[in-house]
Amino acid sequence: MNWLKQNYNLKLISLLAIVVYGAAFALSIYINQTEDKLLIHDVSRLFPDRVYEIVEGEEEAALVEAVKAAKENNLKISIGGARHSQGGHAFYQDSVFLDMSNYNKILKLDEKEKTIKVQSGVTWEQIQDYINPHGLAIKVMQSSNVFTVGGSLSSNVHGRDPQYGPLIETVKSFRLLKADGNVINVSRNENEELFELVIGGYGLFGVILDVTLELTDNEIYVSQTEKINYKDYPEYIIKQIANNDDVGLHFARLAATPDDLLNDMYMTTYRTIDKGDDRYPTNEDDYEELVELNEEQNVLRDKFFFGLSRKYDWAKNLVWDLQQKLYAEKEEGEVVSRNNAMRPPIEFLEYDSDKDTDILQEYFIPVDHFEEFVDGLRKIVKEDDLNLMNVTVRYTPKHNEGYLTYAKEDTLALVLLFNHELSDEGIAHMKLSTQKIVNQALELNGRYYLTYQLFPSQDQIRKAYPKIESFFKRKLEYDPNERFMNNFYERYAK
């Protein structure tokens, strides 16, 4: 009897404990996730700002309403997509923050014309999921697919397909919600000045509502990874990659390891194969399996190793060696669809330590000056003791469209991933080193990418982008009250 009663009590206690603890756990996670919503930051978590209000416009009417209300109450407006820009381009203190991520419907796919019309909060991943069954693929996007179309247009991004320059080349038209609350069509024939100002305009001219983009075929590629001396790379690019129709995607990596810092180089090229090729899938099932979209795997494992190499030099060397072995073994001759090649893993990069952060930078260097730049960069990284984690290189051909173009001649774009301390000294140190790297780029007639930190000086931005002054002037013409505001504009326009 007594035993029975005890047993009953035990069960009751257990049940109660599980229920209470479970609820508390869920609540804690919930609060942790939603806490301090008005404090907006980008993925690097540098320089957050508290905004006045967040508007999550799912409908166009709500966005129009928000713009009109901001005008009446004389509030600034900032616009955010996936918030992967890293200089406060997507938010501003005490502003009405338009979170575009819920404005994310796919509106129309035209298979014959190979175009798609989407709302600007749509991510590349959503588009890939949608068009993959139709045998179509994106022409230009970043090297991964987590970004929104609106954010990508506003930075005029570029990717790994050497046939294309920046995204603007593949945009047919879009609709823009202006500071006065009116909505207009923008294309190469209609409001054409805005076409070049808004794309690459960092949200300063209005809210991009929906966008029509060109698509291409979801080709089948075979990949090849080779080692190359970085000094030979420019020649290789011009001869083998540029204007070479069968190259679908191409990128290279430079070692960020202490042992071979910016010396060792591997490049990966995806070349188109046609039905006749013996590596092309022979039957329907194989084909289906090949084009099915991959999900990212081994996130935690990669996160762990990446975490180690953030801290230790030996781990950097180890990871680099392992990577090259894997590439050499596995990717040699791997057959892959364009869509799958255009969604490489990225989640493992997510990092949120309270004391340090990972930041990106990108430099566009005229092909001929690549070697000089790499040598100069190596010197700065060593002298300033920078924690360089990863370097990728892509070819970005010359382009003319767009107000703030970053490749006025054929360039090699170097993407640098640094880890640095979040302390004031850590930031000041990184800022100084960044200015040195920017100088190095400017001396070689190169540019830096505006979408990252606001470290470069007033002088440097004006040298890199001589049209920036008139860009800011146009901004004032279209938006005299500076309704659309962000930290980038505030830092450099005054």
Ligand X SMILES: Cc1cc2nc3c(=O)[nH]c(=O)nc-3n(C[C@H](O)[C@H](O)[C@H](O)COP(=O)(O)OP(=O)(O)OC[C@H]3O[C@@H](n4cnc5c(N)ncnc54)[C@H](O)[C@@H]3O)c2cc1C
Residue 432 contact partner, candidates ligand X, another protein, none, CB within 5 to 8 A by sort of partner = none
Closer residue to another protein in complex, CB, 10/328 = 10
Q: Which does 203 bind (CB under 5 to 8 A by kind): another protein, ligand X, none?
A: ligand X
Site track for another protein across 347-376, x = CB under 8 A: -----xxx----------------------
Phi/psi for 391 (5° steps) reads -135, 120
CB of 325 to another protein, least distance (A): 23
Pairing of strands 207-217, 265-272: unpaired
Nearer to another protein, 295 or 352 (CB): 352
Looking at the Cβ atoms of 22 and 466, the one nearer to another protein is 22
Neighbours of 61 (CB within 10 A): 9
Our CB check for ligand X shows the closer of 83 and 474 to be: 83
> Which two structure tokens, joined as six digits, stand for 151?
């954010």
Q: Can you state the percent helix, strand and coil of the chain, rounding each to 5?
A: 40, 25, 35
Burial class (CB in 10 A: 0-12, 13-18, 19+), 260: middle
Minimum distance from residue 415 beta carbon to ligand X (Å)? 7
Map tokens 């419907």 to a residue: 105
Structure tokens at 189: 């024939």
Q: For another protein, which residue of 12, 17, 107, 476 counts as binding (CB under 8 A)?
A: 17
- Taking contact as CB under 8 A, which single stretch among the options 25-33, 70-78, 155-163, 449-457 is the one that binds another protein? 25-33
Contact residues toward ligand X (CB under 6 A) are: 43, 79-85, 89-90, 100, 120, 142-144, 147-148, 150-152, 154-155, 157-159, 202-203, 207-208, 346, 349, 360, 451, 486
Tell me: does residue 245 bind another protein (CB under 8 A).
Answer: no
Read off φ and ψ for residue 188, nearest 5 degrees. Answer: -70, -15
Judged by beta carbon, residue 160 or residue 316, the one nearer another protein is 316
Of ligand X, another protein, none, which one does residue 84 interact with (CB within 5 to 8 Å by kind)? Answer: ligand X
Q: Which does 81 bind (CB under 5 to 8 A by kind): another protein, ligand X, none?
A: ligand X
* Contact characters 27-56, another protein, x per CB under 8 A: xxx-xx--xx--------------------
CA dihedral in degrees (56, 60, 65, 66; nearest 10)? 30
DSSP at 82: S
Count H helices and E strands in the chain, helices first: 15, 19
Rounded distance between C-alpha atoms, residue 222 and residue 270, angstroms: 5
Long-range contacts of 155-159 (CB under 8 A, 24+ apart): 155/85, 155/89, 155/200, 155/202, 155/450, 155/451, 156/199, 156/200, 156/402, 156/404, 157/451, 158/394, 158/396, 158/413, 159/342, 159/394
Q: How many residues bind another protein (CB under 8 A)?
A: 23
Within 278-317, which residues bind another protein (CB under 8 A)? Answer: 303-304, 307-308, 311
Which option in ligand X, another protein, none does residue 208 bind, with CB closer than 5 to 8 A by kind?
ligand X
Contacting residues toward another protein, per CB under 8 A: 10, 13-14, 17, 20-21, 24-25, 27-29, 31-32, 35-36, 303-304, 307-308, 311, 352-354
